[in-house]
């Protein structure tokens, strides 16, 4: 089972109305549901499940301004609806690092994580397809980006159909995930579009919810071999938004479960 982890946050903003991933998220005239709590339980070790709870807070414009998980806090800054900086604090409320956003016009070009120890600094670079969708995300852990981590995305309409990722480091590993979707709104459909790009991953970039995640990996012989396939069953509220997603692994056992809670703004 693949855990989708992002630089310091997992967030969702949900609207009653359905719109594309490129829509403006700053229209405050329409009532909206905002995700206020996500409880995720991983069953990698069935005898000792791991539970992560995330609490999300918003400003009057519906922009995410604070997230807390396990005592760690992320604070978001904006200018004209564009995220400009995220500050990450540890459980002692000490700033560990911050993430800057860099744009060219309305296109997010890169992020840079800045630490007190500059040796930990890293950057993320983005490219786009002709439809303006995220095509690749590159993680650079050095100034010359000599050994990057790269994720690429192929789409079927507004959903990611294939995500391929290569990890950086001496022991590089390439994995592929292929997705099948429902027809309901994803919790991430109307998240601020720049945050969705920064977060990456099929679950944040796609309009709908994937119900099958078929994994594989590339061996040293150049061939692809199957790994974990997770099948999801979702429950929805009266607005058609997910309130629970249960993932069953290839072995038929419970793999992961998500619970979503919302506030109305």
The DSSP code sequence of 125-141 is EEEE-TTS-EEEEEEES
- Max CA distance (Å), the chain: 56
pLDDT one-digit tens code per residue, 186-244 = 887 667 889 989 988 998 899 999 999 999 999 988 899 999 999 999 999 988 889 99
Of 62-66, 157-161, 179-183, 212-216, give the lowest mean pLDDT range.
62-66
97: enclosing H helix or E strand: strand 95-104
Mean pLDDT score, 163-171: 85
Q: Is 142 helix (H, G, I), strand (E, B) or coil?
A: coil
pLDDT of residue 172: 79
- Mean pLDDT over each residue of the chain, to the nearest integer: 87
Q: What is the model's pTM? A: 0.84
SS3 content of the chain, % helix, strand, coil (to 5): 5, 55, 40
DSSP state of 195: H
pLDDT band for position 30 (50/70/90)? low
Are 31 and 62 spatial neighbours (Cβ–Cβ below 8 Å)?
no
**Percent of the chain, pLDDT > 70?**
88
pLDDT at 171 over 70: yes
From CA 141, how far away is CA 120, in angstroms rounded?
8
- Buried/exposed code over 24-59 (b: 16+ C-beta within 10 A; e: otherwise): ebeeeeeebbbbbebebbbbeeeeeeeeeebebebe
């Amino acid at each position: 089972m693949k855990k989708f982890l992002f630089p310091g946050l997992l967030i969702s903003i949900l609207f009653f109305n359905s719109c594309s991933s490129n829509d403006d998220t700053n229209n405050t005239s329409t009532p909206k549901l905002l995700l206020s709590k996500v409880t995720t339980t991983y069953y990698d070790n069935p005898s000792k499940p791991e539970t992560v709870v995330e609490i999300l807070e918003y400003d009057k414009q519906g922009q995410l301004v604070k997230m807390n998980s396990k005592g760690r806090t992320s604070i978001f800054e904006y200018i004209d609806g564009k995220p400009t900086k995220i500050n990450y604090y540890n459980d002692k409320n000490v700033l560990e690092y911050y993430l800057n956003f860099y744009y060219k016009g309305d296109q997010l070009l890169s992020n840079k994580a800045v630490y007190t120890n500059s040796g930990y600094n890293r950057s993320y670079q983005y490219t786009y397809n002709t439809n303006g969708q995220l095509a690749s995300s590159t993680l650079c852990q050095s100034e010359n980006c000599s050994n990057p981590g790269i994720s690429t995305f192929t789409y079927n309409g507004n959903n990611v159909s294939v995500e391929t990722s290569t990890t950086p480091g001496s022991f590089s590993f390439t994995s592929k995930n292929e997705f099948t979707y429902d027809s309901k709104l994803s919790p991430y459909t109307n998240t601020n579009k720049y945050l969705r790009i920064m977060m990456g991953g099929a679950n944040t970039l796609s309009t709908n919810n994937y119900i099958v995640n078929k994994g594989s990996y590339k061996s040293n012989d150049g061939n692809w071999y199957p790994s974990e396939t997770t099948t999801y069953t979702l429950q929805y509220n009266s607005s058609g938004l997910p309130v629970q997603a249960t993932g069953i692994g290839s072995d038929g056992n419970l793999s992961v479960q998500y619970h979503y809670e919302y506030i109305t703004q």
